[in-house]
Amino acid sequence: MAKTIKEIEEILFSNNQLASSEELKNLENDQRKGVQNLIKRWKAKIERERLAKEKFLHMSRYEMELRENGISFIAGVDEVGRGPLAGPVVAASVILPEDFYLAGLNDSKAVSESNRDFFYEEITKNAVSFGIGIVTPEEIDKINIYEATKVAMTKAINDMNNEAEHLLIDAMTLPVQTPQTSIIKGDANSVSIAASSIIAKVTRDRIMEEIHEKYPQYGFKNNMGYGTKEHLDALKTYGVTSVHRKSFAPVRNQLMT
């Protein structure tokens, strides 16, 4: 008796490999439209997974090269929040285990919010070590955002339980003794930096959501402190708060009015 379409769906999607190529051939010879649609979906899924693995391997090339040279503890370092008018700049440092794999891991800006939350849990659960560095708006105003970014990254590195043997940093050189490699667009070219990007982004978003509870009129839970029209209009209506970066032009200009 021929298998039902539901049974075939379970065969195809319960795992990524059929019992045999002959079984797949038999399914492909099944002329039922429902079966043919299932096979198309399954092949598309397998192709997506293949491409995701290929991308992950490509993004692991810096880590693999370092490991080939006997370096085990490799920390990716990244930050989020340089551009907003309010809130802190947040950095993260992450050391991933050698066998770590997370399909779809990428620059946090290229990942949906739900996937970021899932990735955050997977990274923090499996990382050898990770650290967070936070620099407040007051500190940003004192030392400027570029220097504040370096401070946040250094704090994140120092916050880890394990000492890194090498740092992979997103487009930045830090004043630390640890050997380091600065990678342009590192969050899209290194799995370790991408992981730190996710940790930093989720951490900062949660901070901004907490700040929103105190200052809901600025819409921080939606704009995360960036200068959206909603935010700029609220600045004009309600003025500057303690979480605003007073050295940033739109805020500074508002203070001068």
What does the alpha-carbon distance between residue 124 and residue 130 come to, in Å, rounded to a whole number? 7
For residue 175, the one-letter residue type is: P
What does the alpha-carbon distance between residue 236 and residue 254 come to, in Å, rounded to a whole number? 7
Q: Are 118 and 195 in contact (CB under 8 A)?
A: no
One-character DSSP codes across 101-147: --TT---GGGS-HHHHHHHHHHHHHH-SEEEEEEE-HHHHHHH-HHH
22 is in an annotated binding site: no
Rg of the Cα trace of the chain? 23
79 is in an annotated binding site: yes
Phi, psi of 256 (to 5 degrees): -85, -10
Q: Are 96 and 126 in contact (CB under 8 A)?
A: yes
Which residue's structure tokens are 């740092």?
167
Element (H, E) at 6: helix 5-13
Angle between helices 21-28 and 5-13 (to 10 degrees): 140
* DSSP reduced 3-state for 62: helix
Q: In the sheet that 166-170 helps form, which strands lie side by side, from edge to edge?
A: 129-135, 89-95, 74-80, 166-170, 180-183
99 is in an annotated binding site: no
Residue from 210, 209, 217, 208 nearest 235 by CA: 217
Q: Are 245 and 85 in contact (CB under 8 A)?
A: yes
| Binding-site residue positions | 78-79, 170
| Binding-site residue positions for a divalent metal cation | 78-79, 170
